[in-house]
Amino acid sequence: MSQSPVPSALTQFLTATAGRNMTKAAYLAVAIGVATMVMLTVNPAYEAAHWAGAVLWACLAFFAFEWVVRIRGSFRSGRPYLMTGRGLLDTAGVIAVPIALAAGAEPRTAWLLAVLWFVKVIPGIPGLRQLRRVLVLESGPLLSVLVLFLMVLFLGSVAEYFLERDAQPQTFANVPAALWWAVVTLTTTGYGDVVPITPLGRLVAAIVMISGLGVFGLWTGILATGFASETRRDNFLRTWESVSKVPFFANLGPSAIADVTHMLRTIDLPPRVTIIRKGQQGDCMYFIATGGVEVDLPGKKVQLGEGAFFGEMALLGNTLRGANVTTTRLSKLLVLDLVDFRLLMARHPDLAETIDAEAKRRALENE
């Protein structure tokens, strides 16, 4: 007997969930599984929560199904999955607990490996991809500061060992013991379990603490600058993509589009949002990258779609808005302010002529 070609509703749901990068259902499963694992470490909760094992096994079954679907999809597409970082993490999250249980580990100890599920959220966090790119691009300066950190660490520990070994033979018995003090001091943690007592030892400690502030300040500055650059780059690329989709800019060359991209700012608006109100002062015009708007003119309503622009009359002399404009669906708009408009028109006279001609045509239609 042939199998039914229509899978069950549960299978369809799980297949769709596993096929996406990281869905809300998967986030929920991670949260429930990790929270249940943590609860099992509390003795009263462990003794009372008999259902906790079933919850953990259900979460494991969900991740196992997701894992199998991704393996199957990788065979069909020809793209490797098991040998990728994500594939290895998913594999560890699926097999770690069963292997621990099979090896004879106590269940509460074995389920501690469910913490590996938490790393499944990493691919779904865009900021971590940006961090990885920043670390790669800034690897040279970061490694230079790391070398400086290690130099201060070892020089300080050796100096402190030399100065304090006679005064505190138990505390500074050797260089590895002094390294613990150097790490605590250089990171400005200051546990207070190891403290120099000689004058020169305290002087070295002061130098190490100040050096620690400088080293971590350098790391912070490098990462902050890298993140700022990456954020500007991502914003520029997103705006470039939106600008290139507007037919009004279709005939511009790459340099002109880059010029326009630097001037425009992007806004995303839901449906039924009033962008312009009649009678207000206007200081910008709008280009529709995606979506659409409705212009409420006397006696009629005009629909504008992708590639159209509106609000240009406020930049061509008539600063009072002449109509209400409302989004009809989810829309991405490119906004050009008055100062940038004048600069852009001076650099690209052909755009000025096109906008002026369109404005005159619309003025005649609205009379």
Indicate if 144 and 119 belong to the same structural domain: no
Mean pLDDT along residues 235-264? 73
> Residue 17 domain-assigned?
yes
From 7-16, 20-29, 56-65, the region with the lowest mean pLDDT = 7-16
Domain that holds residue 359: 255-366
Give the sheet arrangement for strand 293-297, strand by strand. 274-276, 324-327, 293-297, 300-304
- Mind listing the pLDDT tens digit for each residue in 104-124? 888 888 888 888 888 877 776
Report, in angstroms and rounded to the nearest whole number, the Rg of the chain calculated over CA atoms: 31
- Mind listing the pLDDT tens digit for each residue in 300-326? 888 888 878 888 777 766 667 888 899
Mean pLDDT estimate for the chain: 80
Indicate if 24 and 76 belong to the same structural domain: yes
CA 354 to each of CA 193, 337, 348, 350: distance values in angstroms, whole numbers, following the listed order:
75, 17, 10, 6
Indicate if 114 and 145 belong to the same structural domain: no
Identify the CATH number of the domain in which residue 329 sits: 2.60.120.10
* % of the chain with per-residue pLDDT over 90: 11
**Residue 336 and residue 3: Cα distance in Å, rounded?**
59
Domain boundary among the residues 75, 96, 124 is at 124
Are the C-beta atoms of residues 101 and 125 closer than 8 Å to each other?
no
Number of domains forming the structure of the chain: 3
**Residue 355 and residue 286: Cα distance in Å, rounded?**
12
**Residue 335 and residue 357: Cα distance in Å, rounded?**
20
Give strand ranges (E) for the chain: 265-269, 274-276, 284-290, 293-297, 300-304, 309-310, 324-327, 331-337
Adjacent-strand bridge partners of 222:
none
Q: What are phi and psi of 133, to 5 degrees?
A: -65, -40
Indicate if 347 and 283 belong to the same structural domain: yes
**Residue 121 and residue 129: Cα distance in Å, rounded?**
12
**Residue 314 and residue 280: Cα distance in Å, rounded?**
10
Task: Indicate if the pLDDT at residue 201 is higher than 70.
Answer: yes
> Residue 3 domain-assigned?
no
